[in-house]
Amino acid sequence: MNEKDEVIVGYELIYEDLESVRKEIQKSPALVFLRFVLPITAIVIIEILFILDFSIIGFSTWSIILIICFPLVNLLIVFVIPKALPKILVVSKQIDRLFLESISQYPEGKAIINNYGIQVDLANTTSYNLKWSYLTKIVERELFFYFYYPQFSYLHIPKRAFTQEQIEKLRQLIYNNMEKKKVKIKSKSQGKVKNSG
């Protein structure tokens, strides 16, 4: 293996990464679909079924109230409550606390990416060695590269750790070692995220 087939970066783990990762993941098309499109579709289908049912058995005052209130209550459940819950729940604070503890234990990381796969060392105490064949998906977003592996787990490496030349080398390694359908990285020319398949 020659030098140009490997990218080595070191990076500091910072608290701001936690919020940045959350924001980037929330923008993922799958989550947007699950959070917005799917619930609205379900509400519309149920409303149609209510209207059909009531048109057969006859409309009453309660059926009209149900037809009007059902979508309003569901929209409230789907869109308003989830935004309020994270501010109320202690779970979010526990996740933040655990992240802060992990930063204090592992204040820096080092990643080595080559034709064998990706190796991430956190403060020389915890190490992840993932072969390309083990990875299920790789996504490049605005601030991070995400390397997904089974059980919905992932490693993220901040793009701030890379020079532009290293980013290009990393993209080439990804293209050369991953199935195209498992890759979603930025194109060299446009800088926009695209599916390479």
Report the number of distinct structural domains present in the chain: 2
Q: Which domain, by its residues, includes 115?
A: 3-13+106-195
**144 and 190 share a domain?**
yes
Helix residue spans in 110-190 (DSSP H):
164-177
Among the three residues 43, 63, 93, which one is the final residue of a domain in this structure?
Answer: 93
- Tens-digit pLDDT string for the chain (197 aa): 455 688 888 877 766 776 777 777 767 776 667 667 777 787 888 888 888 888 888 888 888 888 888 888 877 776 666 665 554 444 455 555 655 565 555 567 888 899 999 888 876 667 888 899 999 999 898 888 988 888 767 888 889 999 999 999 999 999 999 988 888 877 554 444 444 44
Q: What is the CATH number of the domain that holds 169?
A: 2.30.29.30
pTM: 0.61
